[in-house]
Amino acid sequence: MPPGPTWLQIWLEAGREGRIFTYANPLGLPLASGDLVRLKLRGRRHVGLVVEGLERLPPELDPDRLQPVEGLHQSAAVDPHWRALLSEVAADCHTSLFKTLKTALPPGWLGQRPERQGGPARNRWLVELTPGADATGPSSSALTPRQQSLLELLEQRGGRAWLSTLTTAERFSRSVVEGLERQGQLRRRAVAAGSAEFMTLQAAGVAAVDGTAGTLEPPQAPSAAQRQALERLAATPPGGALLLWGVTGSGKTEVYLQACALALAEGQSALVLTPEIGLVPQLLDRFKARFASSIVEYHSGLSEAQRIASWRRCLEADRAQPVVVVGTRSAVFLPLRDLALIVLDEEHDSSYKQDAPMPCYHARDVARHRARRSGARLLLGSATPSLETWLACQQSGPGATALVRLPERIGQRPLPPVRVVDMRQELAEGHRRLISRPLMERLERLREQGEQAVVLVPRRGYSSFLSCRSCGEVVQCPHCDVALTVHRSVRSGDWLRCHWCDHRQDIEPRCGACGSTAFKPFGAGTQRVMEQLSNELEDLRVLRFDRDTTRGQGGHRRLLEQFAAGEADVLVGTQMLAKGMDLPAVTLAAVLAADGLLHRPDLRSSEQSLQLLLQLAGRAGRGERAGEVLVQTYCPDHAVIRHLVDGRYERFLEQELEIRRQAGLVPFSRAALLRLVGVSASATATAATTLAERIAPQVLSAGWVMVGPAPAPITRVAGRSRWQLLLHGPSGSPLPLPPEAELRQGLPKGVGLAIDPDPLEL
């Protein structure tokens, strides 16, 4: 290792926001951004985060007065690629390296207690059975079941394993290990990474034994199309990208699995990103069944300690013990060396975009940078690719994205036909129910046929809003500029709730505007649809799948398992229904009130609603029996509905691109959004105006246009005022803005600023 930097900028958790201090590095420790170091501040011990190394000191600092760092606490930076990646993201997102580091590192990383672990060499804890101690002997009755199974596992594995493997892949808590240590059943010792003993252990197969425990699910024999996809991936140059465009059920996941297996076989790691882990437990299950303890999870369903453990396992991964990470957005920053492959499943999904806090990054862009820097290949998978990725496939040259298709479902199962129910017609014929006659007929026969249905309702709760019958006043949230949603509970009747700030209240007996006592609920939520279904079809067993019924860890999984086990005939749910579920008995996918999805005033509204509807359609007919999609709408002629019926998504992309080209919209131009938030409405408005005046000269002279400042579409949320400034400029041109810190300087206290360099919603 080269000697470390002479000076270090270090962030310390002093005060509410923390502060950056400059320290000396007299020992020449090889430190870099992301490392945690031990040091003293005003005589007290701290752990600080290295933000940057400096070779030259700013003139105002006196080198003789700087305190030294005392040692490394935890190393985070694995290679120069990783740090360069963070700097690139910081620059792209117009924010500091420090903020980017904070987003990249696991939550709780900075609050850790110092460990007894010295020197810059990383240690790994090896857990060994104590020779001579007998786990099955008479004293074993004193063991807990977890302790018993840990000992059995160690015996199966030749008596030893890395502690990190036991606590992450095998999910033993440290207290189980420590308990056994106290009883003398096993012992734990540190092995310096890279030491001779470490290498001998690796060679002796401690790693290999870790990786092959249990029975693994064998790969499927790939179809011709899948084989072609794998060949195309292998032919993609390192650092390049490939779009795997396959209809739902065409075997994309199997391609990811086999591509990961190839990476592992070469001693390299793979990173698999998925929009949401809670919603698609099946994806994680399939990866675990295939790769067992080589899998590292990283998502918000894990505790802070588990996330830190996952981070450490990534640091420890090497050619002898490569890993497959399965995680959500922020997993794109995990510190992996020897990275061969990045998979972005459902690459079009908007949850890859972080809106707040800064950096407002898109995991797809970060993954592109990362693949390029580390020579990995990027595999983007989708049934409904984003316009951006599809456009990248049209380009030629070395940076272009390659394209390979999986045109058919596995087993040549047909894609389900789409039937549109014109709700205007239903109304004209005197049927004013939420559930149309054609849908009712299908649901009536469902149970006797042993089939299942999913029904999408865009909103949760009982009804969308409550209004006064006399004056039309809609009951609003006291903290936000939105209507309150009606929820119904068996015990306490109807009550109101805000879906933006979670405010809850009872229904007032009288209208606040006119004093009338008559209210009427409008718009149907999941609860109301369930109620109607149960009233009209008594035999039908219905389950609800939305944020209210899936709270808590494993909530999604529990409901999906109930449904998969046939405990219900119909699953009524919100958008989350459309994601990833693969259930062979589902033959019907229905959408009530598709109109709720179609009419959002947003650049990407058509694209996103068509993606959602096609994804939902993909849930039907995945098994032996043919499926059908049924869409209820008042606008059967809407372009999105027409493209849904045609099933020609590519045609939609062509038209959408043409519309944007003619209007000069993104991606034919570039947009950036400055968002201001503050408790005081007037202070926020003034700050927005002042900021606009301040940046106007630079923005205009760069040939950009400024729209606003204006209040955000929903101006008040959770009692805070929101203003925005939209900047529009030529595509590919840099943001015409001073550095973030300078922008912030002129803002009054209490007004926050976020810069989004490429907002998804405009």
Specify the residue, 201 or 343, whose C-beta has the smaller distance to ligand ADP: 343
Q: Counting Cβ atoms within 10 Å, is residue 488 exposed (0-12), middle (13-18) or buried (19+)? A: middle
- Rule CB under 6 A: is residue 481 a binding residue for ligand ADP? no
- Rule CB under 6 A: is residue 382 a binding residue for ligand ADP? no
Q: Which stretch binds Zn ion (CB under 5 A): 22-30, 397-405, 478-486, 565-573?
A: 478-486
Q: In this chain, which of 159, 222, 647, 711 binds ligand ADP, going by CB under 6 A?
A: 222
- Rule CB under 6 A: is residue 248 a binding residue for ligand ADP? yes
- Rule CB under 6 A: is residue 346 a binding residue for ligand ADP? no
Q: How far is the CB of 221 from ligand ADP (least distance, A)?
A: 6
Specify the residue, 408 or 548, whose C-beta has the smaller distance to ligand ADP: 408
Q: In this chain, which of 246, 322, 729, 757 binds ligand ADP, going by CB under 6 A?
A: 246
**Partner touching 133 among Zn ion, ligand ADP, none, CB below 5 to 8 Å by kind:** none
**Partner touching 410 among Zn ion, ligand ADP, none, CB below 5 to 8 Å by kind:** ligand ADP
Q: How far is the CB of 466 from Zn ion (least distance, A)?
A: 11
**Partner touching 582 among ligand ADP, Zn ion, none, CB below 5 to 8 Å by kind:** ligand ADP
Query: How many other CB atoms sit within 10 Å of the CB of residue 544?
Result: 21
Specify the residue, 342 or 468, whose C-beta has the smaller distance to ligand ADP: 342
716: β partners: 721
How would you label 102-124 residue by residue, b for 16+ Cβ within 10 Å and e otherwise? bbbbbeebbeeeeeeeeeeebbb
The order of strands in the sheet holding 542-545 is 418-422, 628-633, 586-591, 452-456, 570-573, 542-545
- Rule CB under 6 A: is residue 627 a binding residue for ligand ADP? no
Specify the residue, 500 or 634, whose C-beta has the smaller distance to Zn ion: 500
Cβ atoms of 735 and 757 closer than 8 Å = yes
Specify the residue, 108 or 219, whose C-beta has the smaller distance to ligand ADP: 219
Q: How far is the CB of 409 from ligand ADP (least distance, A)?
A: 7
- Residue with structure tokens 């595999």? 379
Cβ atoms of 487 and 553 closer than 8 Å = no
190: β partners: 125
Q: How far is the CB of 290 from ligand ADP (least distance, A)?
A: 11
Cβ atoms of 123 and 87 closer than 8 Å = no
Helix (H) / strand (E) element for 444: namely helix 437-446
Specify the residue, 410 or 540, whose C-beta has the smaller distance to ligand ADP: 410
Nearest to 115 by CA among 290, 281, 285, 312: 312
Specify the residue, 253 or 294, whose C-beta has the smaller distance to ligand ADP: 253
Specify the residue, 249 or 757, whose C-beta has the smaller distance to ligand ADP: 249
- Rule CB under 6 A: is residue 375 a binding residue for ligand ADP? no
Q: How far is the CB of 618 from ligand ADP (least distance, A)?
A: 7
Contacting ligand ADP within 399-418 (CB under 6 A):
410
722: left (phi over 0), alpha (psi -120 to 50) or beta: beta
Q: Counting Cβ atoms within 10 Å, is residue 337 exposed (0-12), middle (13-18) or buried (19+)? A: middle
Q: What's the Rg (C-alpha) of the chain?
A: 28
Cβ atoms of 250 and 408 closer than 8 Å = yes
Cβ atoms of 463 and 525 closer than 8 Å = yes
Q: In this chain, which of 83, 252, 528, 638 binds ligand ADP, going by CB under 6 A?
A: 252
- Rule CB under 5 A: is residue 733 a binding residue for Zn ion? no
Per-residue binding string, ligand ADP, 568-607, x by CB under 6 A, is --------------x-------------------------
- Where do the DSSP E strands lie in 614-759? 628-633, 669-678, 705-717, 720-730, 751-756
How many residues touch ligand ADP under the rule CB under 6 A: the total is 15
Q: Which stretch binds ligand ADP (CB under 6 A): 4-12, 218-226, 434-442, 535-543?
A: 218-226
The number of CA neighbours under 13 Å toward the Cβ of 659 is 12
Contacting Zn ion within 501-540 (CB under 5 A):
501, 503, 511, 513-514, 516
Contacting ligand ADP within 37-66 (CB under 6 A):
none
CA distances from 52 to 11, 46, 84, 95 (A): 10, 18, 11, 15
Nearest to 32 by CA among 81, 65, 67: 81
Cβ atoms of 242 and 377 closer than 8 Å = yes
- Rule CB under 6 A: is residue 611 a binding residue for ligand ADP? no
Q: Which stretch binds Zn ion (CB under 5 A): 40-48, 169-177, 494-502, 675-683?
A: 494-502
**Partner touching 144 among Zn ion, ligand ADP, none, CB below 5 to 8 Å by kind:** none
Give the span between the Cα atoms of 84 and 86, in whole angstroms: 5
Continuous H helices in 110-245 = 145-156, 163-167, 174-182, 196-204, 206-211, 224-235
Q: In this chain, which of 37, 315, 443, 480 binds Zn ion, going by CB under 5 A?
A: 480
Nearest to 210 by CA among 314, 323, 97: 323
Contacting ligand ADP within 253-312 (CB under 6 A):
253-254
Q: Which stretch binds ligand ADP (CB under 6 A): 221-229, 319-327, 633-641, 721-729?
A: 221-229
Give the span between the Cα atoms of 402 and 391, in whole angstroms: 11
Structure tokens at 274: 């998925």
Q: Which stretch binds Zn ion (CB under 5 A): 56-64, 433-441, 477-485, 586-594?
A: 477-485
- Residue with structure tokens 């039309």? 472
**Partner touching 252 among Zn ion, ligand ADP, none, CB below 5 to 8 Å by kind:** ligand ADP
Q: Which amino acid is at 205?
A: G
End-to-end CA distance of the chain: 47
- Rule CB under 6 A: is residue 251 a binding residue for ligand ADP? yes
Nearest to 259 by CA among 366, 329, 374, 340: 340
Q: In this chain, which of 147, 226, 374, 615 binds ligand ADP, going by CB under 6 A?
A: 226
Geometric angle at alpha carbon 382, from 381 and 386, rounded to 5°: 110
Specify the residue, 217 or 658, whose C-beta has the smaller distance to ligand ADP: 217
Q: In this chain, which of 4, 249, 596, 627 binds ligand ADP, going by CB under 6 A?
A: 249
**Partner touching 223 among Zn ion, ligand ADP, none, CB below 5 to 8 Å by kind:** ligand ADP
**Partner touching 480 among Zn ion, ligand ADP, none, CB below 5 to 8 Å by kind:** Zn ion
Per-residue binding string, Zn ion, 450-469, x by CB under 5 A, is ------------------x-
**Partner touching 500 among Zn ion, ligand ADP, none, CB below 5 to 8 Å by kind:** Zn ion
Which residues in this chain contact ligand ADP in the complex, by CB under 6 A? 220-223, 226, 246, 248-254, 410, 582
Which residues in this chain contact Zn ion in the complex, by CB under 5 A? 468, 470-471, 473, 477, 479-480, 498, 500-501, 503, 511, 513-514, 516
